[in-house]
Structure 1
């Protein structure tokens, strides 16, 4: 009888300098320049690695306004940043966001492939299509790509990048100095892709890494976003406001993947995790209320507006019914925006109540370390998630989670005590993808031998 290893919880850390919430940067322990300080990121990544977390994650967005949250206003570019972290750590995974709407596949394949080599197989790419229409003018376009086109483009983009990553078979470079053979030419392959959105010849001037290819993550939650995830994702970061939402999302995504012939267990679902920890549950709830209750309502309106391409909600009566902005959801953060509109309409929420629900929303993970560990375990054992991606905002909160919650999860056998692998795929339990040309040649040889 084959013994299968028990599921292991996956944990990541979202490193966002001075914070993606408007108030976090005011914490005295947060350096005012944290978002552009490589040493701050290295320090947090080393903490996460010491606690045996699976990965650190760098968010990104190609458009800002004066009202954008502090971290986004002044931050380092993800791949440059992750390369710096790579040489200052040895085991933890390194995941960065990069849009398919305003880059080219060859550049992305080369850059993420390079990060994968620099880190010795620890790179991951969070594939996004960019929800902010204002990004178009930063890249020479008058209008943003239409929503459906963005996702069709993204699917082809990722397929091209993965094809380029297979340009060399794993035995392409014998580097035989005595024989004078550096490259086996029959092991180098042009892609010669000619598709709807891209035409790319290849080959990529870079071999595969120890983990074969960087891990593909995705976070879209619209119908098109979930379909893209079902096709390409090996991990997802889609938001989950509560247990029921998380369970529904995970079941739906994995069912879509199964219908495509994919193994649903090879998609690791890791939504964001916001935690409020204290010595008692009552103190933790008071801490949450103190922080969220002091949020500036005007800034909360801006944060809500971001889902609708920074629509200005300040012109509306906050205590009147949520305004009809359904026409604004079609080409921005479609999934999230449509959820706001639908919920507000179904529940008859005012604008103020909608802000409370979606911007100043309360966390499901509030209490002592044991209480938070209990809730994490509940979500995990029920199959609502495969793990979580912890928002790192205030240093004391991060330290308390790593030294308080993580050991409890380890004691319960849910989370590793030490790394068993040194690649991101190894940490996440994902297989190394076989080189497509090696597979094809093997099949051809088998047929010829019959």
Structure 2
């Protein structure tokens, strides 16, 4: 083992909670995937994974139990690629001995990397997948230049890659944000355990940009406004009794990549969630009102001062003397309750946008698309993951219910804006 590779790693500030709350319903597992133009060669994919894994020592770990917290220990064995046979983002037994907190799957033309949120976020996951793809095509005889977010596997591991950036940018005396209030939740019946359905809409980026320009907003702001409008329409479509019960605050959990605000090269978790909302008790909103509300909210809150309050709150919780001395087995009992009360109960749904994914020129035409699937969640049974590649944007709804009203309404609105949408699903 190289001298610059650590033997063990503390879980980062965000990752600490996930091993305690993970379950068959709340897997805390998300997926980034690439669909190639040709069929995946499993043996070559395994070779590529073997070649890059030492460059990601903070992922090549097994979870261990301490007295007060979990920790990661460097693993001397390598992960194995597997053929995909189940639903995506399913429960991961990463507490089991010699089990990694991530997996690499393949199926026909698709390569998927699924990660427990305990080790990384979307930025780290995409860097891993892109590095894996570059090495895979290199083994096929196609060399490519190393671009942003792709690690040179011959380079040394840098300390800042595995730092806990939340602690780095923590400021002691900053007040925490207000506690979340209860939000409206979808009244749908849950699937059987182990079933996670995905509906992906494929849109032309240029057409969506044109509509954003017409409304005077960004693509993310337009998607947020359309999602609020979709949920609002669902509530108003219910009978009077149900409508009265559902007319509450609708809150969208919007993860923010803090690397865009604070200089950081960490490959571990470094994000917080902000919460744009509307209150349906105040009446029905027009699309223009929703766009204005979303736009103003993001302009006010996407800045260092506001985001520092969330970093301060999260690190203060970790540093709390009472929490620190609670034995791990008790934390495992109370953390799911805390997560439900102060996390999921305050959100209706979520939208995570990884943005535009760019690959080196030499291999970009060999890849058809990238997709991002959000982690399944019992409290927020419908979530949205967004990723863009070349000319298209891929909007994936992940849900723990067979009900498809929300997705159908959302994509119907987009079609009415003269944007063509191709819809795909894994519903069986």
Structure of higher RCO (CA pairs closer than 8 Å, 6+ residues apart) = 2
| Bigger radius of gyration among the two | 1
Higher helix share goes to which structure?
Answer: 1
Normalised to the residue count of structure 1, the TM-score between the two structures is 0.24
Q: Which has the higher strand share?
A: 2
**Under a length normalisation based on structure 2, what TM-score does the superposition of the two structures give?**
0.25
